[in-house]
Amino acid sequence: MLFDPASTDHGIGEGSDRGQPCALAPSRRRPASGFLTLPAVAHDVPSTAFLKFREPASVTALVERQFRYGPLRAYDVKNPTSAADAFQQAFFAWYRRQVPATFQRLTFAPVLFDSAAVLEYTEHCDSSQTSADDPTPLFFGIELPDDHVYAMAPVADQLRAAHPLLLRTVISAIFRAGAQTMWIRAPDWFMYEFSCWYWDGDESITDKDAAELLKDRFDDGEALARFLPSSVRPVIQPDDMSPEFRVVRCRPQYADYLSPSGLRALRNRLTGLPRRVCTALLALEALMPTHRKRDILHISYFTNPVYAPCTLVYQWNGWTEELLDIHYDNAGNSGDGTTYLGFSPLASTSKAIRTQYTDWAHALRVLACLDTLLSLVSVPLY
């Protein structure tokens, strides 16, 4: 803004000649005609600049060990701007080689975070775990960006007709694969949530005991009958979709499930969808016993994920919709929910690096087989 150097308390009609100074005013009080000019700048002078901070020595040392002892390939890196950028390019190139096909049911994505970002997420989670004292500068994480719901009822009758234990075997395989890799929201979750809201958390409650609990809530007998186990279980979690144990063991009890030899014998007698389900089950069964670890993703810091990589319902009805809405509302009101499953510190020793990548590759193979099975036994809602 250009200012008039004349004093503001002089009237125009007083005849004073102090309106224009005789001497040249300072630069901040120049007259309106005294514009400042800029010197000419050569065209080869850059108009923008890139400010780059030096990476911590711990990041550079960790990346160097990852390339030296891990399966990362240098030729996957193109024009890196830093050591972390080079590692990021090589890591995601390795990941794409493990999962060449897109997943049809599972929705997740690998992410790489530094320690500051991980600390921000773990500090705001309702958990005793925190990464504040972890010296690792880089972390691997799993992002769950969305929650897609699939129904199993349209396929369940075909599996029941093929063999009475085939549907239960499918549920068992989904549970055990999820225990090794990523938890899948299945009909048992909806049954448990319903029991917490209406049956004091007792999933095995009888109609008589449930009616006793609910009689103070409902005056109408017909309304109360809708909340009894005999009315709710068949539409949320039928008996043949309930695993025998909540804590999934490494090996199923073959008295209630089909063994691999039983699956092979059954597959030879089947055609169509049930035969493909048996093939997918055998592929998944062949992978899981080869690894005895429960958590092969090496998640050290779990957050509170709002979404699941896949949500399975027996059928989409008012109960399942209501329970999901309550879950999302509670997560939004609590403020501690995230879209990340958890974070794993990147290993820094040669043996640990090789073990970590071997386990991650195995987990991705299990997830690929699990996704194939899920695509056969479920259908999209829309």
Q: What is the pLDDT of residue 1?
A: 42
Low-confidence ranges of the chain (pLDDT < 50): 1-19, 245-253
Q: State the pTM of this model.
A: 0.80
Q: For 217-247, b where at least 16 C-beta lie within 10 A, e where not — what string?
A: eeeeeeebeebbbeebbebbbbebbbbeeee
Tens of pLDDT along 237-271? 998 887 654 434 444 445 678 888 999 999 999 89
How do residues 112-133 score in pLDDT, each as one tens digit? 998 888 888 887 665 556 666 7
pLDDT for position 55: 64
C-alpha 304/C-alpha 91 separation (Å) is 25
What's the pLDDT at 337? 79
Convert 328-351 to b/e letters by CB count within 10 Å (16 or more is b). Answer: eeebeeeeebbbbbbbbbbbbeee
